Amino acid sequence: MQVYICMARQLWAVTILKKSDLDFLVVVKENVKDETKKAFMEMVVALNAQTPGKGIEMSIVKREVCDPFVYPTPFELHFSQMHIKWYSDNPDDYIRKMNGTDKDLAAHFTVIKARGKCLFGLAISEVFGEVHEQYYMDSLWSDIEEAAEEITDNTMYLTLNLARVMAWIKEKKILSKQEGGEWGLNNLPDKYHPLLQEALKEYKGMEPDYNMEMAITYANDMLARIQSEGRFSD
């Protein structure tokens, strides 16, 4: 089995990992047998137990969907920390069912091409084709469209993510969450700066003090701006 392993995001500091995850993408040439998936998952779960923060998030995809890019993108296997119980309770069921398509992979592919690191195998430019801007934007929207309802439960992530989506729309910049928050401090209305500063504090491992009323206002305002300027449909 020929494999290419890429990191979807650069790591800026160990402290940031207290509130973030490690994103990996594995590219294979042929179908992966269930016994191989299970052996791979055992390794990933063991490694996940050693990571700080939100642990590992990874997908296995076939090279044929990378160039030309296929959207929504088929995947052979996926793992994140939220799936540990399912895998632990019934690994055979997990292996059998954890496949399909994922819109979020358009964002991962875009980040890999712009700022990713190849850990093993061919160069990124040899494996990944262009992701059409329409697919990338749709992927971004699918991740934030419920932000107004979800921001009180996931304040740090959505506060920073909404800012970096706007940075893409305004300036075509592909940013980390930290960079998105910093971009927001330089480009978004002053009234949102305390919220962004608290989100950046939490991202760096410090205890935040959020104004949730402002967070909801921010989410609704940002979604309206993103829909308008990014030409997203309802």
pLDDT value for 5: 58
Tracing tokens 């480009």 back to the chain, one arrives at 187
The residues near 164 (Cβ < 8 Å, ≥ 6 apart) are 173, 175, 176, 177, 179, 180, 181, 183
Indicate the helix (H) or strand (E) that contains 23: strand 22-28
Tens-place pLDDT, residues 93-107: 999 999 999 999 999
Beta strands in 52-121 (DSSP E): 56-62, 73-75, 77-79, 100-102, 117-120
What are 62-81's pLDDT values in tens digits? Answer: 999 999 999 999 999 999 99
Q: Map residue 107 onto helix, strand or coil.
A: helix
pLDDT in tens, 166-224: 999 999 999 999 999 999 999 999 999 999 999 999 998 899 999 999 999 999 999 99
SS3 at position 157: helix
Question: Average pLDDT, stretch 138-143?
Answer: 96
pTM above 0.85, yes or no: yes
pLDDT of residue 207: 96
Closest CA to 77 of 13, 122, 31, 12: 31
Predicted confidence (pLDDT) at residue 39 exceeds the cutoff of 80: yes
Give the per-residue pLDDT at 18. Answer: 58
Q: Residue 16: is its pLDDT beyond 80?
A: no
Location of structure tokens 């059998």: 96
Pairing of β 3-7 and β 117-120: antiparallel
Q: Is 103 helix (H, G, I), strand (E, B) or coil?
A: coil
pLDDT of residue 20: 72
**What's the whole-number mean pLDDT along residues 17-29?**
81
Which burial class, exposed, middle or buried, applies to 10 when counting CB atoms under 10 A from its CB (0-12, 13-18, 19+)?
Answer: exposed
40 pLDDT band, cuts 50/70/90, is very high
Query: pLDDT digit string (tens) for 104-126?
Result: 999 999 999 999 989 889 999 99
